[in-house]
Amino acid sequence: MATFSVAPPEMSLKTSNGNSAIVEQAAVLQESAFITAMTQFDHAVQFLNLDPGYDQLLKTCKRELTVVFPVKMDNGDIRMFTGYRVHHNTARGPSKGGIRYSMNVSLDEVRALAMWMTWKCAVVNIPYGGAKGGVLVDPKKLTLHELEGVTRRYTTEIAPLLSPEGDIPAPDMGTNPQIMAWMMDTYSMHRGYSVPAVVTGKPVNIGGSAGRLEATGRGVMYTVREAFKTYGWKLDGASVAVQGFGNVGSISAMTAYEMGCKVIALSDVEGGLYNAKGIDLPKLRQFRKEHSSLKGFSGAEPITNAELIALPCDVLIPAAMEDQINHSNARTVRARMVAEGANGPTTPDADRILNENGIVVIPDILCNAGGVVVSYFEWVQDMQQLFWEEDDVNRRLERIMLRSFHDVYDTARGMNIDLRTAALVLAIGRVAEATRTRGLYP
Ligand code: NAD
């Protein structure tokens, strides 16, 4: 956990909503995501020969919107919510990035996540800039009707920034295809006609792409498989531990299982499960469907999230949230490889420790880029009104993930730097190049 305690300026705004204790606690967390993003940037630019002034230009978010809006709850009360939409950079194309619903959301967290989206789209070389959005809300504490109300009002509030050519949201922590459907519908109602390409990660029956739901987790494992091949390691039977059992964690775990790995541990916010012989994933998924929890599954022992991070294993996949591998637990990590399914799960201090200990870290902006790659496919399909088979989506996804892994790996070898720095060098270099080619307006 980070140690920053100074409240950012937006705090006063949020505390007026009456959430002060939770918001203050959350701000400690998110400042760390922002500091992590800035520290990573400052480190990577030392390896780039940027034009004067470009480092300031590239580390600054170009547009930030804070919205505070009322929603009538089911009991008739009016509750105020705070949301954000931030565009970090659009030199390479429209801004792209997910919407997060969580009590940890803050402007600084959204800024960091928007910046990582810019680098992610650049590292896999798709024609987008970076954005992110979020609402300070625990979606589990709302009824379906209230969740729809929050989503529709938030979409209306940030609508001036959205369009298929300008800014395209997608799901992230706490949001899902249904929420994307409400966003798309709200935007379309204001236009008077359907605009499916304004949002990705929608259900397939309203213009979503086959394979989008699974894309991030699949992309994580395509990258891990290629890395194992490149390092000459054996994936069959390799032990895998996954933190987070949401969209990214559950699909990463399932794909690992299908690739012949032994998934020895899994967790969610309530705690984890461990079985040295490997967890029966299809059985566990069925159990979770029936009980909405991992707790009580008979095929594994309970463990804590801290114990999961410290398990000896071949691959550790943090797939929950930021700051999970930090200065206080990095020395306990005994994995051979950390494959970052989440955004920003490793702090810069922890990164140094993992590197010193010879642990290979596949950085988030590469490892979890499968989601935005298939979001890009979804957007292309929506624009063309021509839809692809899932096989085709997966093949194209795999090709991009493998090419991107080798671009990063070759950069790392060529410059004698770690994979994260290499991914950032590649990405920041591409965004700088696009900026130089376009020139500075006016
Ligand atoms: P999700 O809401 O579907 O799942 C999050 C999971 O993490 C849940 O199982 C939750 O219980 C668990 N969790 C939350 N806090 C935890 C904690 N402290 N310890 C352990 N588990 C915890 O979210 P998601 O879409 O799977 O996103 C997870 C991460 O992956 C986020 O960092 C997100 O930004 C990143 N990501 C998501 C996508 C995507 O397509 N959904 C794409 C790229 C990156």
With a 6 Å cutoff on the Cβ, whether 248 touches ligand 1 is: yes
Give the pair of three-digit tokens for residue 332: 């306990």
Q: pLDDT band at 31, cuts 50/70/90?
A: low
pLDDT of residue 32: 86
Q: What is the pLDDT of residue 431?
A: 98
Most ligand 1 atoms within 8 A of CB, residue of 269, 288, 308 to mutate: 269
Find the largest Cα–Cα distance for the chain: 65
- The whole-model pTM stands at 0.93
Domain ranges in the chain are: 2-19+33-206, 215-367
Residue closest by Cα to atom 5 of ligand 1? 246
State mean pLDDT over 45-65: 97
Mutate to test the pocket of ligand 1, among 200, 321, 372, 397 (most ligand atoms within 8 A of CB): 321
Banded model confidence at residue 183, pLDDT cuts 50, 70, 90 = very high
Residue of the CA atom closest to atom 16 of ligand 1? 269
Residue 173 CA to ligand 1 centre (angstroms): 5
Indicate if 215-367 has the same CATH topology as 2-19+33-206. Answer: yes
Q: 323 CA to middle of ligand 1, Å?
A: 12
* 78 and 97 Cβ atoms separated by less than 8 Å: no
Half-sphere exposure of 285 (CA within 13 A, CB side): 14
Please tell me the class of the 215-367 domain. Answer: alpha beta
Q: With 60 as the cut, is the pLDDT of residue 354 above it?
A: yes
Residue 94 Cβ inside 6 Å of ligand 1? The answer reads: no
Average of pLDDT values for 428-436?
98
Q: CA-CA distance, 220 to 242, in Å (whole number)?
A: 12
For ligand 1, whether the C-beta of 243 sits within 6 Å is yes
Q: Give the pLDDT score at 195.
A: 98
Element (H, E) at 178: helix 177-191
Ligand 1 centroid – CA 210 distance (Å): 21
Q: What is the Cα–Cα distance from 426 to 435, expressed in whole angstroms?
A: 14
pLDDT per residue over 362-415, tens digit each?
A: 999 999 999 999 999 999 999 999 999 999 999 999 999 999 999 999 999 999
- CATH numeric code, 2-19+33-206: 3.40.50.10860
Nearest Cα neighbor of 136 from 14, 226, 298, 228 is: 14
Angle ∠(94,422,326) on CA atoms, nearest 5: 95
Q: Is the pLDDT of residue 421 over 60?
A: yes
Active site amino acids: 132
Tell me the average pLDDT of the chain. Answer: 93
Determine contact, residues 200/180, Cβ cutoff 8 Å.
yes
Residue 247 Cβ contacting ligand 1 at under 6 Å: yes
b/e 394-408 (16+ beta carbons within 10 angstroms → b) = bebbbebbbebbebb
Per-residue pLDDT of 257-291, as tens digits, reads 999 999 999 999 999 999 999 999 999 999 999 99
